[in-house]
Amino acid sequence: MRKVIAIITGASSGMGREFVRVIATKYSFLDEIWVIARRIERLDSMRGTFGDKIVPIALDLTNSSSMKVLASKLHEERPNVKILINSAGMGIIGRFDETPENEISDMVTLNVNALTSVTRNVIPYMSKGSYIINMASSAAFLPQPKFAVYAASKSYVLSLSRALRSELAPKGIYVTAVAPGPVKTEFFGNAEKHHKIAFYKKFVMADPRRVVSLALKDAKLHSDISVYSVTMKLMMILTKVFPHKLLIDIMNLF
């Protein structure tokens, strides 16, 4: 019989690691959990923490050759992938014209290209009842000056997720986009390398455990989007009601 697995990208830290923790402790039906990230030492330590079901796969998803490695492993082992979580991502705060070009390229490659390629490679190995969780962001709801590329990339993730949801529904495969606001993880250590996060965002920082718990619950309910906190739900509504230009002008006051 085909082994039943979950695949989690960005698994070595932040939201990805929290997804690994919950799935490893609560999803006993899985034979293996493939954890993907660059830092092999962190992935190896997860095997000691969460058990032998953890299969470390050290890949840099900004490198196109990494996708060939994943595709080859899938083809060789032909698992039944019941859960795919695309959690790998990065953001850099700052003006577009002041952000180094290589950092812009890495954001687009990881947030857009890698997520797209991983999903495309994994879908043929999914079956009825499988589901995909894509980490988008509340930044997907509205263009964000000084976070322009990140917000644009997450808008892509949200749009792709909704379209895939429709395409895959006849196969019984479900797709949920997760759109939290700022979350207390290592993400901002890298994001703030040039500029600090807007002060008002610090007041709505979410607990990663609660975000992941809600995301998994919403995915099981086949929700198209998982939005944590009343604040972010209100933001989603505001971006549908008011012109984006007005909201952006308000953001620029802070």
Q: Any idea how long the chain is?
A: 254
239-249 burial by CB neighbour count: b if 16+ within 10 A, else e? beeeeeeebee
How big is the CA angle at 211 (ends 208 and 215), to the nearest 5 degrees?
135
E strand or H helix that includes residue 4: strand 4-9
The percent of residues above 70 in pLDDT, for the chain, comes to 92
Q: Give the per-residue pLDDT at 187.
A: 57
- The CB-based long-range contact list for 53-58 (8 Å cut-off, 24+ gap) reads 53/24, 54/20, 54/24, 55/5
Q: Of 160, 23, 138, give the one whose Cα is nearest residue 85.
A: 23
* Active-site hit among 154, 156, 174, 228: 154
* Active-site hit among 131, 150, 174, 228: 150
Q: Point out which residues pair with 33 in neighbouring strands.
A: 6, 54
Cβ distance 90 to 106 under 8 Å?
yes
Q: Which residue has the higher pLDDT, 198 or 149?
A: 149
Q: How confident is the model at residue 246 (pLDDT cuts 50, 70, 90)?
A: very high
Does the domain at residues 4-251 carry the CATH identifier 3.40.50.720? yes
Q: Give the per-residue pLDDT at 202.
A: 60
pLDDT in tens, 168-222: 999 999 999 999 877 776 655 565 556 666 655 565 667 899 999 999 999 999 9
Cα–Cα distance measured from residue 157 to residue 69, given in angstroms and rounded to the nearest whole number: 23
- Verify whether residue 150 is a known catalytic residue: yes
For 224-229, what is the mean pLDDT?
A: 94
pTM of the prediction? 0.91
The whole-chain average pLDDT of the chain stands at: 91
Cα–Cα distance measured from residue 156 to residue 169, given in angstroms and rounded to the nearest whole number: 20
- Verify whether residue 154 is a known catalytic residue: yes
Cα–Cα distance measured from residue 91 to residue 89, given in angstroms and rounded to the nearest whole number: 7
Q: How confident is the model at residue 226 (pLDDT cuts 50, 70, 90)?
A: very high
Strand, helix or coil at 218?
helix
Q: How many CA atoms lie within 13 A of 235 on its CB side?
A: 24
Q: Give the per-residue pLDDT at 182.
A: 79
Q: How confident is the model at residue 50 (pLDDT cuts 50, 70, 90)?
A: very high
Q: Of 111, 143, 135, give the one whose Cα is nearest residue 212.
A: 135
